Structures are given as structure tokens and as C-alpha cells.
Structure 1
Amino acid sequence: MLLNRLYKLDQSGTTVGRELQAGATTFAAMAYILAVNPAILSAAGMPQAALITVTALTAAVSTLLMGFLTNYPLALAPGMGINAYFAFTVCLGLGVSWQSALGLVFVNGCIFLALSVTGVREKIIAAIPHQLKLAITCGIGLFIAFIGLKNGGIVVSSPATFVTHGDFGTPAVLLCFGGILLTAVLIARRIPGAIILSILAVTLLGLFVSNGKGGTVTTMPGSLFSLPASPMPTMFQLNFDLLLHDFAKALPIILTLLLVDMFDNIGTLIGVTQRAGLLDKDGKLPKAGRALVADSIAAILSSLFGTSTVVSYIESASGVEAGGRTGLTGATTAVLFLFALFLTPVILAIPAAATAPALVIVGIFMFQSVAQLKLDDFAETAPAFLIIAGIPLSFSIAEGIGLGLIAYAVLRLATGRAKQTSPLTYVLALIFSLHLLRAIVARLF
């Protein structure tokens, strides 16, 4: 059989039926990105309808590429955390146009590819202490969750206390909070596709809940199916203006994209393939080089298509648990993403009250890494804490990582452990120091 030969199903101890089921399971687990990614990136001024098409296309093409190069059951899509950084920190916070931000994503992808091909990528990852990698994951989790709470109206700004709780007398806020609880219950009971099921449930309930403005929380779409919206409003719209005219501002953004990208992809790659039994007897991953090249190319494609960086999704693990072992799982997921292109009216009708819980839950998933932190050494705990607190409170992944890396380097020097630390760690700390002190550096030079 063609599929058997192409994906080596017999050698992997799986069947076509099992792979198809696993691919559908993975899609159900990560389909929320079709609603959430456009909702986040549209905050930067990008057209939401085009983003739905671009998100689906990017996920499908990237997932097919990973399966073709590695035959691993991995699915890819625009990354959560990276998209929030792109929209809220780079575009809204730093005032960078989304076109210029896409240009930086392209540069990040090219550097990513060069580092993957030359093997430097693994050295950079090794230079970041494991404690700080875990802290970055936790910090980004809090960042995403905070954005979700804000989008859902559960947390609002306050001149007296900076933030406070929203008006729970508002139906949309109650609906959002109910969505968080529903998703948590479904996940706790191990219901497959919990996030997308919650989005659907809240969206349907929103048809019958008043928004307080004479309408309902969810607006009934004019039709269920339609031809996909044109991707051209975002496709090939990137430019390199920021890189050419303000390199000092562009550099830390690119560095942050690289760091977050590397941690996200490597962690997912190892975690999912380990659960799938694809690691060798020494705990190493065959075809790791191909996998790294695949997600590097995917990062480049994402900038050309018009979305933030594509990453390997931890939700791929749900497909592995359903029996997925080969690239046929990913191919199935990719086909389902393409089919979803024709559901654009439905996706556009999904309200913030339905997508915000997904952000909170994904944030909780990421924050679970806190359990692996070692807190018995203050010189390790302090930098980790600065990252975890710094990312959400500064509303910037870059500043949070910078605070932690600088503190780590200083504490290693102060406690006589400089020689036990990679020189590259100090280089990264220096780069972030220059970034945080860029105003002073600009005056000097």
C-alpha cells in the first residue's frame, strides 16, 4: 500500500486507521489557534479574515513539511506566546508596524535556519541554564494567561491599583469565566479536544446572552461555509524598514524571537517524540537535524505568509497518545486545517469571551513547568523569579528574559561560579544589558 510504504507504518507499529484518528485528535486539540491567532494578531492592525486563511495555510504547509522531512507525528502552527509578543510588545508596545515586525520574523527564520544547519543552535540552547529555560516558559504562560484575562474583561486597568477585577455583572465576563472553568474541567477529566469544545460551547451560549448593547455576545454568521478570505492583505507584506533604520531597536526583538523559538521547538520536539518512543537507546532523537531545519523553514514561510513565527505544537502529544507514530498523523492534521478554510464565517463569529479562556488555559499549561524549578539555591531562584515576574508585569518577554539573564550572570560571578558558566551566557547577558540600557548607550555613542 502506498501510504504504508511512504510513511513506513509497519516499521512504526501503526496502521492507516490509527494514524488518521491520531491526526484528527491533534487537530481537535489545536484547532483553537484558528480563532485565537487571528484574534491576537488583529490587535496589531492586521486584517482578521485574512489571518484565518493565513493561519490555516501556514499550519498545513509547515506540518506537511515536518512530516515529509522527518516522518514524525508533529503538527506546527503559529506559536502562542510568540504571537502575543509580536502583537502586544513589538507592534503595540514598541510602535513597530506589523509589516516591519514580519520582516524581523523573516530574519529570525533565516538565522534560525543557518544556526540549525551549522549546529550552532544546539550550542546557544546549551548556553541558557535549564533553570532559566523553565522560568521563561512559566513567564510566558503567565503573560498569555494575563492577556486572556484582559481580553475576557476579567482583569481591567485601574489608576489606583494598576489592575483590578472586571464587572462580573456583565454577561460576557461571566461567560468568559465559565469558559475557563469548563475548559479546566474537560482537561481534568481528560476529554479530547477540550479547548476547542469549550470555544464551541461558549460561542453557542453567546448566541443567547446579551452583550448589553442591544445585541448578543456572539453574532450569528450569515452562513456556515464560504470561500476562504484572500490571504493577500498580509501575504508578502513584510518589509525591513526597522532593521535598516534602527538596528539597535531591531536586535533585541530578533534575539527574543530566537530564544523563545528555540525553547518552544526543542522542548516540544523532545517531549512529543519521547512519548512516541522515537528516541534511541541513548536518549537522542534520530533526524533531529531534519526536524530543526523543518521548523526553521516554517518560520521563514510564516513571515512570507503574514503571521508570527510557526512552532511545533505540544498538542501533538494528544495525537501521539491516540496512537500516532508517523508523518501520516501530521498529514491528516494538515488536511483538516485546509478544510477549515471554508469555515471562515463561523470562525469570525467566535467572540473574545470564547477565545480568552483558551489563552488562560494554554498559559496554565505552560506555567506547569514551575514544578521543575529548583528553589534551594537563591542564586538560581532569583534570576528565575525575575523572569517569571518580569515577563507579565513588564508586558514584555524581552525585558523579562533580559532581567533574568543579567541577574544570573551577576550572581554567578558574585558566588565564584563564573568558570562553571558558558561564556555565551555572558554574551547574551551583555546583549540584554545593552538593550535595557539602550537610552544611556545612545547618549554615549
Structure 2
Amino acid sequence: MDIFEKCRDFDSDRMYETFGSLVYFRSLQLSTHPGEVVINGRSVVMAGSNDYLGLARDPRLAEAAIKAVRLDGTGCSGSRPLCGTRDIHEQLESACAAFLGREAAVLAPSGFQTNLLLAGLLGKDDVVLGDRDNHASLVDAVRLSGAHYHRYRRDDVARAEGLLAEAPDGAGRVIVTDGLFSMEGDLCDLPGLTALAARCQARVVVDSAHDFGLLGSTGRGAPEHFGLENQVDLVTATFSKSLGSAGGVLAGPAEVIDFVRSRARAAVFTAGMAPSVAAAALAALDIIRAEPERRVRALDVAERMHNGLRALGYDTGNSVSPIIPVSVPGQDRCLELWHRLLEAGVYANPIVAPGRPAGREMLRVSFTPLHSDTQLEQVLEAFAAAGRTTGVIPVAPPGSWTPVRVARPLSTAPSIVPPRSVTSPTAPTALR
């Protein structure tokens, strides 16, 4: 059989086409207005970016990248162990280690590749326990290593303990989890997992791709949010979300980082991160330290939009973060709602098969601190009209609903519109 045969029968446009519109791989251009992008010459509100702190367009990052290009060129033209290391790499690694409170750190050119570094640490006799919703890069890292992989549900730590207890004597035991889950927007049960690791003598690895720079009192992510940094052995993080750049970092004990950078295939057999990308990430890290109000605004906006959508009748699941999963069961209905929102000037992300199982389709919505109150109101108005037209929400808002309070430091109170009352009959215009 010709291995290309499956490709001839595949038509992604036909699979996801709705109202003649291309759903995925659309070309987006920057708009002159923060919080917006241009699609086919038309500016629309971007309600789906992972630019959680609004730094991807910050001129300070651009200037740092330009300076690095002038100093070190556009690429490294070699792997880090040979001729691909620049001063900016070592500066960023040191800064990340210091920020995360770890002894050392090693970079990778992408967030996905960052997690693949873990394959260099794991062996075929080791036992790895992972959340069933872990990012694909964590799953692939374990597969590449040949280690035994067992999955558990977030609400079933007891089952997880049973799986870990089955590990043979002499096997390494590791628990890997996303800190903040990229689709559902909920946090891992880090208190339960670290307690389990202590009982079973296991190491804990947290992928903070979506919580790095965003959660915790200083932005160090889920481990800081839970006050459990000392009980987490390794942290991976991504620069393409809150840091507005690209690449990622693995941070932990110096001896482990030295081993991984020297032995992991994903580190040894790849070119070093482009200097401009590293410089942009380093500049972003400085801004995160200096401007905590960005995190406050990001969390305030998330809380406002969670509750605005719930007041309309939408289900946003168990998320307590700026990731807002709007449940829209049924692929056709989900894509229709997406299309009508786009017509109304709002871009969201439709998540259907294979990204979501049939019957659990959703729109993934997120915002930045740069979205204006006017833009947020426009998004709610669009969701109200499109949701009623498609029958996703009732014509009349629900009489009661459960408000969301996003994960934030206890000392931080919302600075803008608070959650709506669960029985408010006088919602703002956009929510009626």
C-alpha cells in the first residue's frame, strides 16, 4: 500500500468547512489596535490568543530582538554543545533559574521540544504517572524514553497511587502534570500529587506552559500559586504564551540540568535558539518582574468574561484561569457559532475532533490585559446574539448561575468589574 494514499483522501477544508469559510490555518495580520487582528482586510477582536500578558507586541521586546540580531545575527547555525551557544542563551538561562528559584535551567527552541528534553532523563524501566489531559509533548517525551506510562484522572489520586505502587523495585517513579490545563483551563491537584509523591518516593515534574508568568504572587506559576515550589522537582515553561516570544526552559537541580543538556537528544541534536527570540524572552521576564499590574489586569479581565458569559447562559466548565472553555456540543453547531461570532467581529478558537471528543466540542476563549472595556463588551454582545441565533443559549438569560473566581493570590482583589450576582435580573446591556 502506498503510504501517501491516506493523504489523497484527506480534505481538511471539507471536514471543517462552515458557511464557505476556512476554519483553520487562517492568515491573521496585526492590527493597529491592541486586542485586535486583521482577517481578510477587516479588523476583529482577538478572543483566542495565548498572549496572556499582552507582551507579544510590546515595543521593548521588539527592540531587544532587533538589538540581538544586530549583535549575534539571525541564527546560531549550530547545536548548543558545539558552536550554537551565545551569551544571550546563558543570560536567559540564569534569569529563568533565578526567577523560578531553581539552581539551573536549560533552553529549548520550542515549548514542545522543551518537554521532549525529559526523554533524556527517563529510562525504559522507569514508571511515569501522567494526567490523562497532559499536553501531547509530555506524552511524546515518555513514549520516546520507552518508560512505562500510566494515566490518571485529576479527581482520582487514589487510583494514581495504586498505579505508582505497582512500580517494580528499583524503578524510577515520576509524576508529570500540566500546571494549568490548556483546554479546560483548570489547575492540577498539586497538593494531592506532591503528597502522593512523598508517600511513594516519586519525583514531580510540572509543565507550567500556561501558568508561567501568570499565576502565583510573582508569576512563577502553579507551584508558587499552591505554595509548593519546594515539593516540585522540575519545572518546564514556555515563552510563547505569557512571555510573548518562543521557545521554552527546563529548570531544576544543577546536576539534573547538566545531565539533560548533555544527554537529551532534543538538546544535543538541534540548533540553538535564535538570539532574537532569547533576547525578547529575557526582556519579557524583566517586564513581568517590574509590572505585576499586568497579571492583576489579566486575571480581572478573565473573571469578568467568565461571569459575563455565564450570565448569558454559557457553560465555561471548571476553569479558574484566563483560559475560558465555552462548551458547544456538536461539531456543526460549534462551527456555526464560531462563524457567526467572526461575522460579528470576534475571533475565537473552535476546538472539535480530533482536539476534542465528539460531543465535547467547545470554543476556547482568552483575553489579554490590553483588551479595552469596549472590546470586552463587544465580545459579550456578539456571544449573546450569536448564541441565541444558533440555540446554544436561551433567549432569556438564566435566573441564576454560579460565578467564577479565578485563581489569584489571596491578597489580590479584583480591580475592575466584579463577578455578577448569581441572581442579578439587571445585568448590563451586553448580558441581556
Q: Which has the higher strand share?
A: 2
**Would you tell me which structure has more helix in proportion to its own residues?**
1
TM-score (norm 2): 0.26
TM-score by length of 1: 0.25
